[in-house]
Amino acid sequence: MIRPAVTSLILVAVAVALIYRAGAPPSAGNGNSNGSPSTITVLCAAGLSPVMGELTDVFESTAAEDSSIKIDVSYKGSAQLVALHRVAQSGDLLAAADTFYHQPLIDSGLCSPADIVAYQTPCLIVATDAAATGSIDETLLSGKFRTSIPKRGHAAIGRLVASIEGTEKYNSFSRLATVTRETVSQVAGDVDQGVVDIGIAWNTTSLQFENTKSLTVDAWQGYRSSIGVSVLSSSKNVAAAEAFKEFLGGQRAKGILKKHGYLVSDGPGHQGSVEAQP
Amino acid sequence: MTHGDRNFIKVISVVAAAYVGLLLAMVLANVMLITGDLASAWGTLARPEIQQAILLSLGTSLLSAVLSIWIGTGIAYLVSRERFPGQRLVDFLMDLPIFLPPLVIGISLLILFRRTPLAALDDVLGVAFYVPAIVLAQTVVGVAFVYRTMKATFDSMSTRQERIAQSLGCSRFGAFCKITLPQARQGLVTAAAIAWARSFGEFGPVLIFAGSIRGRTEVMPVSIYLELNSGNLIGAAMIALVMIAIAAVVLFVARAAADEQKISQEGGEQ
């Protein structure tokens, strides 16, 4: 018995050393009273991960020099973020792909009204060398192309395009699709990997995937999704969450968002309506 | 060997060759993709958050495997050797994590820790969305696999030597340590390898209960998910290859340890 116990203790010590070496905080705790950085957690739409990664890096390295705020980001699909937050009620800030997703939490008193920080527009996404046009009838309904369609109930892009084209027509896209997906990143991944010829995505998505390009659809011109940021009522560090939210609405963040293809208004951030409209 | 026997062997050989070929082709497909852009693949591995994820994966899976072995072996011994009310129910419940979809375990743990009176404790201890959540999610599944392996091992072992030891004055605990465990070593090595492998590759429960938080709860399967979401297929394939390599090394060591046990046991019997 001594040998297995000693072996186990050695293995546990190795495991703890590895976890410690990884640098992950072992459990919750907001520092700053002793000079350590206070950490806030942002619940962020998975499709925003490249731009959010850069925004948090810039914020941590420059904007928060005095306040030493550290940002942890949890990435999932917007619908999943909201559903899980209803259960967990943990985290400081919500950045969903559309202000639509904030509304149920606002109604339940789980977050503050969303400040819109950027917009993105729907388009078709194809391989860089594809000859497809932006005509929906030719691409999504002809059956000539393999297509990847975001699910209406899961992805913000699916919800928006269904509201433009009508539910019945969107259901036809889904029926004729090679595959339907939960997130826009999965759709773009399908196109990027050559699994399908064409998909529905945001104008910003193709910039993240090397082998893809966007095709504008005339009927979708002028429609957009509003990316909003809200402070969650579960936040234990509201001041830090507000500071990051303010940074996201500032000029420096707008420059980064523009670089990633997002549309931003030149004025200060404003509180958004629920429906994305032209 | 009859003509029918030869045909039977031929058919299962073809099936085996096809399956092994598929496994090798899957690994090769990752390698081929990566060799097309080695700089990008190495660049992904060089990123601090990915290195953190590798260390965190190794640390949490090792810790979970040790916990799973202790808990699972104890319960397996109890159910195998004792008769008590509700024994069949315990046996049934221990199998549940194996049969349940992994996401069910994740969401159930999250509800337990965030929507019940346990939430107050969680607020203080910080389990959900932190490293303990990874270990807990991995261990819940790992214990079930250890239990199933060790129960089969204990069931197949004769209790004669244990009883003789006890009749000679050895305590039950002493008989367990000196007789049962040494005899069950091969099963223990197998159970440990399975528990570690399950923990190392655990994704669904970790994603839900621990979140996919970079630098905090990002283990290697979560890294693959996050890299795919940001369009870095080559990076995702590179992390997958590292996982395959680590798993292969651990499997090799476990098999070598099991073979050594077998040889020493056979030597002892002779």
Give B101-146 pLDDT, tens digit per residue.
Answer: 888 999 999 999 988 899 888 888 889 889 999 999 999 999 999 9
Helices B131-156 & B48-81, crossing angle to 10 degrees?
Answer: 40
Quick one: B138 and B12 in the same domain?
Answer: no
| pTM, rounded to two decimals | 0.79
CA distance B3 to chain A (A): 45
Quick one: B21 and B46 in the same domain?
Answer: no
Instruction: Give the three-class secondary structure for B49.
Output: helix
- Nearest partner of B147 among B211, B250, B76, B57, judged by Cα: B76
B111–chain A Cβ distance below 8 A for any pair: yes
**pLDDT tens digits, residue range A106-117?**
998 999 999 999
Query: Position of tokens 């046009």?
Result: A133
Alpha-carbon separation of residue A178 from A191, A278, B3, B198 (angstroms): 12, 30, 45, 32
Q: Are B129 and B217 in contact (CB under 8 A)?
A: yes
The full set of domain ranges for chain A reads: 38-119+225-271, 122-220
The span from the first CA to the last CA of chain A, in angstroms, equals 72
- Residue A30 reports pLDDT greater than 60: no
Reported ipTM: the value is 0.75
Between A127 and A267, the higher pLDDT residue: A127
A225 strand-pairing partners: A120
Quick one: B14 and B145 in the same domain?
Answer: no
For range A58-70, the mean pLDDT: 75
Quick one: B188 and B222 in the same domain?
Answer: yes
**pLDDT tens digits, residue range B69-106?**
999 999 999 999 999 999 999 999 999 999 998 889 99
Q: How far apart are CA B171 and CA B176, in angstroms?
A: 9
CA distance A177 to chain B (A): 21
CATH 2.10.10.90 fits A122-220, yes or no: no
Domains held by chain B: number? 2
Quick one: B8 and B104 in the same domain?
Answer: no
Q: Output the average pLDDT for chain B.
A: 90
Please answer yes or no on whether B233 and A72 come within 8 Å at the CB atom: no
Quick one: B150 and B75 in the same domain?
Answer: yes
Count interface pairs A-B at CB distance under 8 A.
137
b/e burial code for range A106-115 (CB count within 10 A of at least 16 → b): beeebbbebb
Instruction: Report the CATH number of the A38-119+225-271 domain.
Output: 3.40.190.10
Using a CB-CB cut-off of 8 Å, the residues of chain A touching B177 are: 1
Using a CB-CB cut-off of 8 Å, the residues of chain A touching B226 are: 46, 49, 75
Which structural domain, as residue segments, surrounds residue B170? 39-269
- Residue A37 reports pLDDT greater than 80: no
- pLDDT given at position A277: 45
Quick one: B143 and B248 in the same domain?
Answer: yes
- Residue A138 reports pLDDT greater than 50: yes
Please answer yes or no on whether A72 and B215 come within 8 Å at the CB atom: yes
- pLDDT given at position B45: 93
pLDDT < 50 positions in chain B: none
b/e burial code for range A36-58 (CB count within 10 A of at least 16 → b): ebbbbbbbbbbbbbbbbbebbeb
